[in-house]
Amino acid sequence: MVALGERDRLLDVATGTGAVLRELGDTGSQPGRAVGVDASAEMLACARRAVGPDVELVRADAVALPFADASFDVATCAYLLHLLDRSARAEVLGELARVLTPAGRLGVVTVAPPRGALSGVLSWPVRAAARRSTGVLAGLRGLDPRDDLRAAGFDVDGARRVALGYPSLCVAARRPSSASTRSRRA
């Protein structure tokens, strides 16, 4: 959905086990530069085993990315935003906007919220527990990030639900090419 090219500089935020970077490598979509960022040293060790030696792995928090403004053409962020409260999501999206070039592309994957009334009713007990949880159940919180993306100054290009495996919502967005997106870092 983000149309990765061979000259693109890619940043994968909350890279975890490196699954997104590995998948890109398996499909032959190799960018000119690939960087995975995670706050966990243990996750980065897992990612190192999963990705090639040409992938850079950096330990950093998503709210304070150690990269210059406009250093990446494409960024991905899978299964992070639904774990954060609205304020933290805004901070992460602000950092992503800062490190993306004007017209830079962003791909976000979250747990899909229920689609219809019946699925909403059937999933209500799990969703209620997930909303209150700070542990493992928090990973089951559904989130449609489109409003958060727009609030952070992104243009949303499209969304696709994936029902196979873990029900997910994939959203493609882009940073406007104008200077309207302000740097969040002082």
Q: Is residue 135 part of a domain?
A: no
Q: Is residue 126 part of a domain?
A: no
Written as one letter, the residue type at 45 is A
Task: Give CA–CA dist 25/13, Å, rounded.
Answer: 17
pLDDT in tens, 20-36: 898 877 666 678 889 99
pLDDT in tens, 109-163: 988 765 644 444 344 444 444 455 555 445 556 778 999 999 999 999 999 988 7
pLDDT score recorded for residue 107: 95
Q: Is residue 90 part of a domain?
A: yes
Q: Is residue 122 part of a domain?
A: no
Q: Is residue 125 part of a domain?
A: no
Q: What is the CATH number of the domain that holds 49?
A: 3.40.50.150
Q: Is residue 118 part of a domain?
A: no
pTM of the model: 0.81
User: Whole domain around residue 163: which residue ranges?
Assistant: 9-112+143-174
Q: Is residue 137 part of a domain?
A: no
Q: Is residue 185 part of a domain?
A: no
Q: Residue 71's closest CA among 90, 56, 83?
A: 56
Q: Residue 107's closest CA among 173, 16, 48?
A: 173
Overall number of domains in the chain? 1
